[in-house]
Amino acid sequence: MHYRQNWQGILSICRKAGKLAMGLEPTKDAMYRGTVSGVLVASDASAKTRKEAAFYCGQAQVPCLELAFTKADFAKMIGRGSGVLAICDDGFFRKMQLLAEQEKQEPRGEA
């Protein structure tokens, strides 16, 4: 699927550039340092994890995107499964917001 390739590409580049924090604790640490541009949450993250991610995003005033990807999808894309990913670069996160918006606008079968 084309949308999955786009996500895999941008997440892979983001990780290689050192601009990705994987997991809730590293995400919270990055938020305390003020380096987070936005947060991605997997669709199968626990309710507690989602609630905590939303809380910390609200505190740090950073956007939080809940995606249709699972932790296993993230593992395939970046080599490590995690329910929460923090993007620590404005440009990468803006691109991810565009991808998420495009994904909402086009049907899954045609992506």
Q: What is the pLDDT of residue 107?
A: 60
Q: What is the pLDDT of residue 4?
A: 78
Residue 37 near residue 92, CB atoms below 8 Å: yes
Q: What is the pLDDT of residue 111?
A: 41
Q: What is the pTM of this model?
A: 0.90
Per-residue pLDDT of the chain (111 residues; tens, 9 = 90+): 577 788 999 999 999 999 999 999 999 999 999 999 999 999 999 999 999 999 999 999 999 999 989 999 999 999 888 999 999 999 999 999 999 888 777 765 544
SS (H, E, C) 86-97: EECCHHHHHHHH
